[in-house]
Amino acid sequence: MLKWNSPPDSTWGTEFQYICFNDECPYYIRGWEWMMSHYNVKSSYRFRYNPQNGETGPLPVWSSEAHKDRIIQD
């Protein structure tokens, strides 16, 4: 999981989160088929962890490169 800068206008209430950017992750891989079969859209999601409150959930993505520009390089 990589440290990721939350967008300033998000409602997550935290400056950063941790996102799984592994393209081999089963959660990410399964997401493409699930989103197409349930919503007829070409998208998926990545696993998200908010260290401030422990919340986990999906981060919607439209490509393998989506949101990678917000990865924080420590």
Q: pLDDT tens digit string along 40-52?
A: 999 999 999 999 9
Q: pTM for the complete prediction?
A: 0.90
Q: Which domain holds residue 13?
A: 2-70
Domain count, the chain: 1
Give, for all 74 residues of the chain, the pLDDT tens digit. 999 999 999 888 899 999 999 999 999 999 999 999 999 999 999 999 999 999 999 999 999 999 999 999 97
For residue 35, give Cα distances in angstroms to 5, 42, 56, 69: 25, 7, 19, 23
What secondary structure letter does DSSP report for 19? E
